[in-house]
Amino acid sequence: MSSDPLPSLPENRIVVGCGGVGLDFLAAVASYPKPDDKIRSTSLRVQGGGNAGNALTCAARLGLNPRIISKIADDPQGKGIREEFEADGVDTSFLVVSKDGNSPFTYVIVDNQMKTRTCIHTPGDPPMIPDDLSESTIFSALDGARILYLDGRLPDTAIIVAQEAARKNIPILIDTERQRERIDEFLKLASYAVCSAKFPQVWTEAPSVPSALVSMLLRLPNLRFAIVTLGEDGCIMLERSVNESPELEEIDVDSLLEQLKQRKDDRVAVPTCISSLEARLRAEGIGTVSGRLYIGTAEKIPPSELVDTTGAGDAFIGAVLYALCANMPPEKMLPFAAQVAAAGCRALGARTSLPHRTDPRLASFL
């Protein structure tokens, strides 16, 4: 009996992640409680969480070989975190285990009515410090790595790992969810940035998302692209030109975004990508950068199938990590990442419905 061959994997599949891991206690409720209310959950799940943990789990299921650098305690939660990673194929050799204290954990309340989720986080104790990792351990963790991913947490340790990666010319992807300690240092070393909706304008003080992206690429010469994720509104990406041509047309970046939006077909439910031609993109009062602007649309998930958006951004990043290892062009990467993120929203918890590379919904990308 013959079977279809699996899609080929990227040649270098090693990705290293340094950042947050934890255990999530997820309770779905019919509607968010008022103060002093006593209500019952409609469903409950306990599973691994944390930005870096979720993104690397996603990457592992897609076929990469991730290594996690983080810290847990020698407690039941820590044991659960580690076992879940190992079951998904995430290398835990560089996970520091404290003999005392507690592993990080988060209570997550998922509101079935409003489709929101509220997180109450308890950090791990004792916290991770640079002395937890020897120089030889960092060398081993980065050995053969295609890319380093940072979620902005564990900053004093992560910056040492990032500096060593930069010395080894390993590209760095930074998740800029919000202003965090040492974020400027991470951004200066980064090759790629995936940002929350508000971060670019907060960081640059630019008047719009497109002008903020221009500002980021001007201020960060190492940055090859920046993506802003917008939830159900998809994403916007600005990619820097490899070779600047003096003959490129100059165009206002805000006007260009409006032109791309007009090309969107709202009747299409599956994720798509709309791109500009290469141009000199001008942001008024900020400057000009040569590159291409992209709009990525999100999957239109039927309300009956949308369960929980916890970890959707982490799933998106896990898919971007895979796309970079596979050298996917942005026109393919953005719909692929949106498809993976949408799959993760169809069950309670960040990891429950993360797809594997054999998932039929991913066949056209892989």
State the Cα–Cα distance between residues 259 and 251, nearest whole angstrom: 11
User: Distances in Å between the alpha carbon of 207 and those of 103, 213, 284?
Assistant: 40, 11, 9
Q: What is the largest CA-CA distance in the chain?
A: 66
State the Cα–Cα distance between residues 167 and 138, nearest whole angstrom: 12
Per the CB < 8 A criterion, the answer to whether 321 and 59 are in contact is: yes
Number of H helices, E strands in the chain: 10, 16
- Length of the chain equals 366
Element (H, E) at 339: helix 330-343
Query: Any bridge partners for residue 67, and if so which?
Result: 16, 91
**CA-closest candidate to residue 109, choices 160, 37, 53, 171:** 37
Q: What are phi and psi of 252, to 5 degrees?
A: -70, 130
Summarised one tens digit per residue, pLDDT across range 239-270 is 999 877 778 999 999 999 999 999 999 889 99
State the Cα–Cα distance between residues 330 and 54, nearest whole angstrom: 22
State the Cα–Cα distance between residues 46 and 107, nearest whole angstrom: 10
pLDDT at 242: 87
Q: How far is CA 241 from the centre of its chain?
A: 23
pLDDT at 7: 61
Residue 160 sits at the vertex; the CA angle it makes with 188 and 318, to the nearest 5 degrees, is 70
pLDDT at 3: 45
**CA-closest candidate to residue 20, choices 177, 184, 167, 170:** 177
**CA-closest candidate to residue 56, choices 347, 314, 352:** 314
pLDDT at 107: 94
Residue by residue, pLDDT tens for the chain (366 residues) are 444 455 677 777 999 999 999 999 999 999 999 999 999 999 999 999 999 999 999 999 999 999 999 999 999 999 999 999 999 999 999 999 999 999 999 999 989 898 888 999 999 999 999 999 999 999 999 999 999 999 999 999 999 999 999 999 999 999 998 888 899 999 999 999 999 999 999 999 999 999 999 999 999 999 999 999 999 999 999 999 987 777 899 999 999 999 999 999 988 999 999 999 999 999 999 999 999 999 999 999 999 998 888 889 999 999 999 999 999 999 999 999 999 999 999 988 888 899 999 999 999 888
| Helix axis angle, 312-325 to 330-343, nearest 10° | 140
The amino acid that residue 346 corresponds to is R
The H-assigned helical ranges of 178-329 are 183-189, 199-204, 209-219, 253-262, 312-325
- Which two structure tokens, joined as six digits, stand for 353? 């419905």
Cβ-count burial of 363 within 10 angstroms (0-12 exposed, 13-18 middle, 19+ buried)?
A: exposed
Query: Any bridge partners for residue 240, and if so which?
Result: 291
Per the CB < 8 A criterion, the answer to whether 308 and 28 are in contact is: yes
Residue 116 sits at the vertex; the CA angle it makes with 110 and 118, to the nearest 5 degrees, is 60
Dihedral of alpha carbons 82, 87, 93, 94, sign: negative
93-123 burial by CB neighbour count: b if 16+ within 10 A, else e?
ebbeebeeebbbbbebbbbbeeeebeeeeee
Q: Determine how β-strand 147-150 pairs with β-strand 172-176.
A: parallel
Kindly compute the dihedral angle of the four CA atoms of residues 344, 21, 14, 151, in this order, to the nearest 10 degrees. Answer: 80
Is the peptide bond between 329 and the residue preceding it cis, with omega within 30 degrees of 0?
Answer: no
State the Cα–Cα distance between residues 341 and 335, nearest whole angstrom: 10
